[in-house]
Structure 1
Amino acid sequence: MARDPSPVSRQEARDRSDSDWAKTQTPRGQREPSKPRQAAATDSATVDLIDWLSENPSTIEHIQEVGDLLTGSVISELDKRFGGGRPRETRRILTNHFWCDLLVALAEGIEEFSKAMDRIPEYVTAAIIKSRNDERRSPLLEALVALAVQTAWGPIKSMVHATGVEEVQRTCRILAVLICPAPENHTAVQNGALLPLAKEGMLETSRERLEQVFPAEWVRRLRGDLGGA
């Protein structure tokens, strides 16, 4: 959609997102926002990111490169080591927010250890395992996580040297949002991808919607980053 020179499909996606948001109700009192309202808010943010990508084709190429890496050599290595006779089952398990966890952890690790890159794979592996524990997702073998991280890290490290830290972080964060099955249910994506991206690739409308459905701490951090109250 971001590659399409015509804005029609993107506008249709925005219209659907706006319609979904309009159908939801503002929560009363101390009630939490409904799941449909949360989903509509993150959909609005996703449409903004796709619009932003349509004007930044170089980032689209980088996203394609990282996506091909994950679906190519990383999956291939995991199939060989852990697929056994049922590689599809292993792949199915990984669709439960593993890939978006991996991308967010890579973006954070690159920032944390930009001057000590050899430490990044260990950091990313630990971050993924912690995220899954914190969000009570199905546990994964540490060896599987470590293999995925190590296989992905070599090419991504080369990309860091070629394009810079910020561009690779942006690439990983946007791809994490785009592939996440439900960003509204994934705290790591909310904090590690949507929060930093809200500063550069989202319209005010989407930021306001996210503020209405995400925790107060997320809102405080966003406003602090934007220099607001």
Structure 2
Amino acid sequence: MARDPSPTGRQEARDRSDSDWAKTQPPRGRREPSQRRQAAATDSATVDLIDWLSENPSAIEHIQKVGDLLTGSVISTLDERFGGSKPREARRILTDHFWCDLLVALAEGIEEFSKAVDRIPEYVTATIIKSRNDERSSPLSEALVALAVQTAWEPIKNMIRATGVEELQRTCRILAVLICPAPEDHAAVQNGALLPLAKEGMLEISRERLEQVFPAEWVRRLRGDLGGA
């Protein structure tokens, strides 16, 4: 749908999403949103992501590569090791949110990796100072060492990022939302994919709909990620 140069399919999906949202308006006085209303809200967010993809064709290719990896070599390996005489049954079990769990966990792992990367200058500085002290080399101020390390680190870090770590993280998150059979029932997708994606690929109306159907703590974290917007 995102690849289609015609916006017709995307507009039809948005119209369906808006219609489903309108049909699930809760009765007056009822506070808890129905499952259908939660589904309508996540559908709205999904349509936003598809629109975003239509404007970012390179992201579509990244998603296709990850999707091909999962449906190709990963499935083949699992079939070989765990499929036994009934590979179709083994595959069916994995449709219970396993693949979106995998993608969200990969995205979170990439985030932890990125945080660790940001701590590298501190580690390098401490290592240099300790090494020089241990070898009784001429002492250098920590400020000087830290500045040298930081100045050298910035272009090196850019080289790492040029390999696409952040893009891969976004790819996993979007694909998790798109393939999840019911994001409204899957906390990992809500917290690990929808939440971080809200600030870059969703319209305000979809964010507002998500706020109406998800818990207050989730909404607080969403608004926090958006800088309190």
Q: TM-score, normalised by structure 1?
A: 0.78
Partner of 2:7: 7
Letter in 2 for 1:200: E
Whether 2:134 is the aligned partner of 1:109: answer no
| Deviation readout 1:94-115 (Å, 9 max, x if unpaired) | 0000000000000000111247
Q: Could you give the per-residue CA deviations for residues 54-108 of structure 1, whole angstroms, max 9, x where no partner exists?
A: 0000000000000000000000000000000000011000000000000000000
Aligned residue number for residue 51 of structure 1: 51
Distance 2:207 2:26 in 1: 16
Gaps of 5+ in 1: 118-159
Question: Kindly tell me: are residues 162 and 74 of structure 1, through their superposed partners in 2, closer, same or farther at Cα, counting changes over 3 Å?
Answer: farther
Instruction: Please show how residues 111-150 of structure 1 align to structure 2 within 5 Å.
Output: 111-114=111-114
Aligned position for 1:216: 216
Q: Find the aligned partners of 1:19 and 1:62 in 2 and give their Cα distance.
A: 31
Q: Look up the SS of the partner of 1:174 in the other structure.
A: helix
Structure 1 residues 27 and 183: CA distance shift in structure 2, 3 A: farther
Give distance in 2, aligned partners of 1:161 and 1:75. Answer: 29
Partner of 2:148: none
Distance 1:171 1:27, change over 3 A: farther
Give CA-to-partner distance per residue, 1:139-197, whole Å, 9 cap, x none: xxxxxxxxxxxxxxxxxxxxx87642210010000000000000000000000000000
Count of residues in correspondence between the two structures: 187
Aligned partner of residue 3 in structure 1, secondary structure: coil
Q: State the partner residue of 1:185.
A: 185
Asked if 2 retains the 8 angstrom alpha-carbon contact of 1:27 and 1:34, the reply is: no
Aligned twin of 1:26? 26
Give 1:64's aligned residue.
64
Query: Would the alpha carbon gap of residues 14 and 186 (structure 1) be closer, same or farther in structure 2, given more than 3 Å must change?
Result: same
Q: Name the residue aligned to 2:197.
A: 197
What is aligned with 1:127? Answer: none
Larger radius of gyration: 2
Output one character per residue of 1:99-137: Cα deviation in whole Å (capped at 9) or x when no partner.
0000000000011124769xxxxxxxxxxxxxxxxxxxx
Identity %: 89
Counterpart in the other structure of 1:98 = 98
Distance 2:116 2:227 in 1: 30
Q: Which amino acid counterpart does residue 210 of structure 1 have in structure 2? A: L
Structure 1 residue 51 displacement after superposition: 0.2
CA–CA separation in structure 2 for the residues paired with 1:15 and 1:99 = 28
Regions of 4+ moved over 6 Å: none
Verify the 8 A CA contact 1:198 1:207 in the aligned structure 2.
yes
